[in-house]
Amino acid sequence: MSKKWVILGGGGSFGIHTAFWLLDHADPKKVIGVGRNPLRPGPFSLDVEKRKGFEYHARHVTHELDLLLEMLDKERPEIIVNYAAQGEGAVSWKNSWRFFETNSMALAKLVEELMKRDYLERFIHIGTSEMYGSVDTPATEDTPIKPSSPYAASKVAFDMYLMSVSKFLKFPMNVIRPSNAYCPGQLLHRVIPKAVLLGLKGEKLPLHGGGRAEKSYIHARDLGRAIQLVAEKAPLGTIYNAGPAEPTSIRRVVELTAEALNIPFEQLCEVTGDRLGQDGRYWLDSSAIKRDVGWEPEIGWDEGLAEMVAWGRKYFDEIKDLPTDYVMRA
């Protein structure tokens, strides 16, 4: 049966790609994006607001919970997907309370209100693989939690909250803990869009620690497909990792980006020191989500990076002078 979907954090690139995926594949009644700001310009919104069946509302989950709930009660969505978070673990050592304010407190307040509503059939929370910390073997959903930043700790807190209200109060939730996602429209402080932009500009990317750290990457469209499959097939209350079989070093990601740009690796980057709290390897065992709903990533590096370069070329004039540093916001 056709459902109405709400995507919290729907102004971010991953929320936007999830909206595109659902519009194209899930036969929704409507897909509603909700973000703290109006939609960004074309390079980052990808003109999602022009798609039939999509609408967007600017509501801040931390500071405008009353307005958000008014909108939800009017629309009565069967499925809510939550990307809303204060992100970026590397900067969470400063003003770390902000990460708990949004990622733990605001979302717990929201869920407590949602438990009073009769229309919600499923709440799908997008967690993080960073809560497992650096691992030597693929982390399963039962691997001990070892967050390596205040950001990761704040995400852990809400996961634990959801597990408790699911078990004892029957709140209809699932958690997906994805590996690092990337996609056209991603903000420019992230390594792949930043590398694409700097490569197109003829400038060099700082490669922290020589890029030794290994992370697992998926395209945001693969994550959108995981969300749809979990919504349609997964037992309520289950938690799933979602990532590729093998991690990739940051150096290798930059090498592949240089190949996609058709420039030498040495022309694209320069080696710098390690970041505080830089994990050695993020690596997920995603066998549970494959077993239960049939998901595994489908978009490889060649296809994904070709899309990133095409995006960078298409919007180059609009993004070439934008800053590439992360800016903390409420």
Residue 193: CATH number of its domain: 3.90.25
- Number of C-beta neighbours around residue 278 at 10 A: 17
| The pLDDT value given to residue 241 | 98
Q: Are residues 126 and 171 in the same domain?
A: yes
Q: Are residues 37 and 147 in the same domain?
A: yes
In this prediction, residue 290 carries a pLDDT of: 98
Q: How many domains would you assign to the chain? A: 2
The reply to whether 227 and 109 lie within a common domain is yes
Say if 329 falls within a structural domain.
no
Q: Check residue 326 and give its pLDDT.
A: 67
The token pair at 241 is 């990792």
Helix (H, G, I), strand (E, B) or coil at 170: coil
Mind listing the pLDDT tens digit for each residue in 145-187? 999 899 999 999 999 999 999 999 999 999 999 999 999 999 9
d(CA 162, CA 169): 10
Same domain, 72 and 171: yes
- pLDDT tens column, 211-250: 888 999 999 999 999 999 999 999 999 999 999 999 999 9
Residues 65 and 15 in one domain: yes
My answer on whether 108 and 120 are in the same domain is yes
Note whether 162 and 266 are same-domain residues. Answer: no
Same-domain pairing of 92 and 163 = yes
Assign residue 228 the CATH number of its domain.
3.40.50.720
> Do 28 and 66 belong to one domain?
yes
Instruction: Answer yes or no: is 288 within a domain.
Output: no
In this predicted structure, which of 56-60, 176-180, 276-280, 285-289 has the lowest mean pLDDT? 276-280
What is the C-alpha separation between 40 and 42, in angstroms, rounded?
Answer: 7
User: Which tens digit of pLDDT belongs to each residue from 186-201?
Assistant: 999 999 999 999 999 9
Q: Which residues contact 78 (CB under 8 A, 6 or more apart)?
A: 3, 4, 5, 119, 120, 121, 122
Q: 107 lies in a domain?
A: yes
The answer to whether residue 291 is domain-embedded is: no
**121 shares its domain with 257:** no
pLDDT tens across 104-159, in order?
999 999 999 999 999 999 999 999 999 999 999 999 999 999 998 999 999 999 99
Domain that holds residue 154: 4-181+217-242
Supply the pLDDT for residue 1. Answer: 82
Beta bridge partners of 4: 30
Is residue 309 domain-resident? yes
Q: Are residues 165 and 60 in the same domain?
A: yes
Q: pLDDT at position 328, please?
A: 58
Q: Is residue 283 part of a domain?
A: no
Question: DSSP labels for 195-247?
Answer: HHHHHHHT--EEEEGGG--EE-EEEHHHHHHHHHHHHHHSPTT-EEEE--SS-
Q: Are 261 and 310 in contact (CB under 8 A)?
A: no
Q: Are 267 and 226 in the same domain? A: no
> Domain for residue 233, yes or no?
yes
Q: Is 25 inside a domain boundary? A: yes
